Amino acid sequence: MKPSPSQTIVFITGAFVSSTCWHEWKTFFEGHGYTCLVPAWPYKDAPALTLRSRQPDARVASIRLNQLTDYYANIVAKLPEKPILIGHSMGGLLTQLLLQRELAAAGVAIHSVPPQGVITFKWSFYRSVWGPLGYFTPVNESFLMSFKQWQYAFTNGMSPVEQRAAYRDFVVPESKHISRDGLTAAARIDFTKPHAPLLFLAGSTDHIIPASLNYSNYKRYQHAGSVTAYRELPGRNHFVLGQASWREDALCILTWLAQLTAAPEAGTGVLAATRH
């Protein structure tokens, strides 16, 4: 069994996609001795096709960020040990929020939605998030990303066949409240607090969460005694969990976790300055 701060991993799904996006990741980490949990979001424990058939879904539309943070906090609190949290996109923000509550042994934020006050001026970000924010549309109706929006925000650079297959298998309705709550105090991080080791992974071609935004998120952490690391990987879009290169990302995380046990300070130095 590999050395690690914990032998339990909780994968936290992001917005707009089914929790089945973690299937290969779960198998990979279980093969390295970890116990892995992939809890679906409330009202989303069904196949993507089933969830899309319910659009608009008032229950999904009702989900708020505070509610979702508490939902995962309750799951984590019932575990026999503090887990490693690995979250993608909104799941990355949830990972940051749960670390702030001291509920994890370590955290990995993959292409993380930024906390309140961490901003970017990249046009690709604003083009990608305008639809999900749903301004000038009823907030009590769930949002379903169109294929065209999916192509730009998630799967840019992939072939049309790959984009279609990913859309079919993973896209689900989403709450507009969730996207809007990311701009409020519900998404606030106290960057001065001590925290469990935290690794940020960013992608050089991500439109919706540009690498520069991930780097700004990482740089906001100020506690000198806490391990915070960053790595930007080339060619990753926002569909990073399902790209052909996903195993390289998983190995990066596995290596970092091993470093934390062997020499905790290495978790900062080895990856922190890796940018492309």
Per-residue pLDDT of 79-93, as tens digits, reads 999 999 999 999 999
> How far apart (Å, rounded) are the C-alpha atoms in residues 168 and 17?
10
- Tokens 């690391």 appear where? 229
pLDDT, tens digit, for every residue of 172-195?
A: 999 999 999 999 999 999 999 999
- How does 20-55 read in b/e, with b if 16+ C-beta sit within 10 Å? bbbeebbebbeebebebbbbebebbeeebeebbebe
Neighbours of 260 (CB within 10 A): 23
pLDDT, tens digit, for every residue of 47-102?
A: 999 999 999 999 999 999 999 999 999 999 999 999 999 999 999 999 999 999 99
> How far apart (Å, rounded) are the C-alpha atoms in residues 67 and 97?
12
> How far apart (Å, rounded) are the C-alpha atoms in residues 222 and 209?
22
Domains of the chain: 8-269 (3.40.50.1820)
